[in-house]
Amino acid sequence: MLDRFKVPKEDQIVITEESLRRTVTAIFEKMGLVPEDAANGADVLVTADLRGVETHGVSNKMADYVGLYTDGSLNPRPDWRIERESPGTAVIDGDHGLGIIIGSKAMDIAIEKARKVGVGIVTVHNSGHLGAVGHFAMQAAEADMVGMCGTATGASILPTFGAETRMGTNPISIAAPAREEPPLLFDAATSAIAGNKFRLAARVGADLLPGWISSKDGTPIMEPTQPPSAGEYHMLPLGGIREQGSHKGFGFALMVETLATMLSGVLPSMVNPSALARHYFAAYDIAQFTEVATFKANMDQMLRTLRDTKPAPGHDRVLYPGLAESEEELVRHANGIPLHREVVDWFDDLCSELTAPSLVRA
């Protein structure tokens, strides 16, 4: 994550991992989730915070989720079911359950199918927000598989040359295990920046960079700008403008829409604005492609070659996707998780209201 999105030191309060897990689990239970689901949901959020992925941690997401459970938009005890199934595939109706809860169940099914036929694909529709899609890709990597996960929701992103928004930020991820190196974990929105980064930028007072957003008529803004008010801008696909490859960002967004939405048999948000989120999960059982030991040794060689690459002038080192996050995870696991003081205030108020255990400073 770019430095501009990080919480400034003077606004940080460091919380213990254990207490954050306990508090978030308790809040989910107060929302009506069964304890196992509550703990799984907390794990998705706290893992994002441990890895420094604040956009998808408690700061940006917990208030949303609480609001959606409270107003009845999310179902805390969904009766999710498999609508159609084959040895290698399944389509799930999520029954308005939160994606971060259903996600690990869906990936478990994909993993189980991959054990039997080499590859497992699960799509989910009628579901809430999925959180950091890399979390579920990693779930497969931890089972000696290559994992992929993507999610499509909303219609906040312009197509190239367009003046009306059509796709979600539609992130996609892939994870693959190595033996000694931290795993490869790539997780990125197919838009110029993730939607959550707006809120984060506003909170920390950061500029948006050229090619990230357009004016209301669809003209890309090609100079640094402060985050405009809602309704005064549109978000651009990865690349920003055609000459810099925005048609590729647009295409990757439609790739996710095809895998998650079309293979769920439902309509995208650009056609059906009230559609809930659609998700895609893939697990490839490494042992059915090659020896797992060979795969991991090959991964080690590739990842070491990448991290040993001579840096360009002005840069300290080359980071492969997932490396900095794995390093941050070790630091935060030991020292605690820095949250913005406004976020801690919000938790304090909510915990007092719900009689949930409050956060503990590290």
Of 296-335, binders to a copy of itself (CB under 8 A) are 298-299, 301-302, 305-306, 309-315, 317-321
User: In terms of CB distance, is 88 or 228 closer to a copy of itself?
Assistant: 88
Q: Long-range contacts made by residues 197-204, C-beta under 8 angstroms, separation at least 24?
A: 197/5, 197/55, 198/227, 199/60, 200/5, 200/54, 200/55, 200/59, 200/60, 201/4, 201/5, 201/227, 202/227, 203/340, 203/342, 204/4, 204/5, 204/6, 204/7, 204/8, 204/11, 204/340
Distance CA 113, CA 15 (A): 39
Residues 101-120 that bind a copy of itself (CB under 8 A): 116-120
Interface region with a copy of itself, contact rule CB under 8 A, candidates 31-39, 73-81, 232-240, 335-343: 232-240
Pick from 251, 327, 351, 358 the residue near a copy of itself by CB under 8 A.
251
222 binds a copy of itself (CB under 8 A): no
Which parts of 53-92 interact with a copy of itself (CB under 8 A)? 84, 86-89, 91
Question: Do 263 and 280 contact (CB within 8 A), yes or no?
Answer: yes
For the segment 258-277, give every residue that binds a copy of itself (CB under 8 A). 258-259, 261-268, 270-271
Among 37, 257, 325, 329, binds a copy of itself (CB under 8 A): 257
Read off the tokens for 27: 């809040």
Per CB under 8 A, contacts with a copy of itself among 182-211 are: 184, 186, 188, 190, 192-193, 209-211
Phi, psi of 328 (to 5 degrees): -65, -35
- Give the nearest distance from C-beta 209 to a copy of itself in angstroms: 5
Instruction: Establish if 247 lies at the interface with a copy of itself (CB under 8 A).
Output: yes
Nearest distance from C-beta of residue 87 to a copy of itself, angstroms? 4
Asked whether the beta carbons of 184 and 320 are under 8 A apart, the reply is yes
**Shortest reach from residue 191's CB to a copy of itself, in Å:** 9
> What is the spatial distance between Cα 113 and Cα 281, in angstroms, rounded to a whole number?
12
Nearer to a copy of itself, 14 or 163 (CB): 163
* 166 lines the binding site for a copy of itself (CB under 8 A): yes
Q: Note whether 175 and 147 are within 8 A (CB).
A: yes
Tokens found for residue 269: 């948000």
